[in-house]
Amino acid sequence: MEDNYSRSTPESIFSRQEAVGSRSKSFLANVFTYMFVALGITAVVAYFFAANAEQLLAPIVSNKLLFYVVVFAPLGFVLLMSFAFNRLSAPVLMMLLLLYSALNGITFSFIFLQYTSSSVFGCFLTAALMFGIMAVMGYTTKQDLTSMGRIMMMGLIGIIIAMIVNWFLKSDSLGYIISFIGVIVFTGLTAYDVQKLKRIGEGIDEEGNIMGSDVKKLAIMGALSLYLDFINLFLMLLRLFGRRN
């Protein structure tokens, strides 16, 4: 009786809540660390290839097969990580995330060459500010963002379909509308994903397990989600406000 009572005292309840909060913060810290590493690799590779375009990008452009591999391989990496998550180990997932971010850097170098450096930098800072605000909102809000997340996912599917259609139409007006909606969708997804990752972190037990999955693997996939939110938000802003060379 005394033991059962002691485990239900306010002090013990607060202690358990504090431990849950600590594990959640540690999990999110790992997620953001992996994300920043991936973004750093993308930025460095993009800058290096853009600065040496004649030596590095010209051979890619001249070889159609190599060009399409560079452009579409990142999508393959995302699909592989998503659908083979349970069969892949944490080190393999991390390697795929780093390779994916490097390939994205090559793709981004083509995009950056089309815009002035000042507009790229300005859109990056804007995206970082918007991402940070929405990440804090997602972490601190008490409101359940699940419904909003579903709406944002529906919007994302609509954007993908519209982008495919516009691939053939090549309409500047439709492209502008897609980019505007994209900014809304990816800002919303940022808040939703951060809240979802916070709840995942709160579910980690004292042994570091959660839902039968490797916590490190979940952190890597969480980093991938936030990485995608950020780069897509950045690209949408660049298409809206970037000044072309």
User: Hey, what are 213's tokens?
Assistant: 């999955």
Q: Kindly give, in sequence order, each residue whose CB lies less than 8 Å from that of residue 32, ignoring residues fewer than 6 positions away.
A: 223, 226
Q: Give me the pLDDT at residue 13, please.
A: 46
pLDDT band with cut points at 50, 70 and 90 for residue 202: confident
Give per-residue pLDDT as tens, 73-125.
Answer: 999 999 999 999 989 999 999 999 999 999 999 999 998 899 999 999 999 99
Average pLDDT for residues 156-176, to the nearest whole number? 93
Reply yes or no on whether the pLDDT at 208 is more than 90: no
Residue-level pLDDT at 245: 85
Average pLDDT over residues 172-178: 94
Q: Write down the domain spans for the chain.
A: 2-241
User: Where does 189-241 show beta strands of DSSP type E?
Assistant: 209-210, 213-214
Higher pLDDT: 14 or 109? It is: 109
As to burial, measured by CB atoms within 10 angstroms (0-12 exposed, 13-18 middle, 19+ buried), residue 100 is: buried
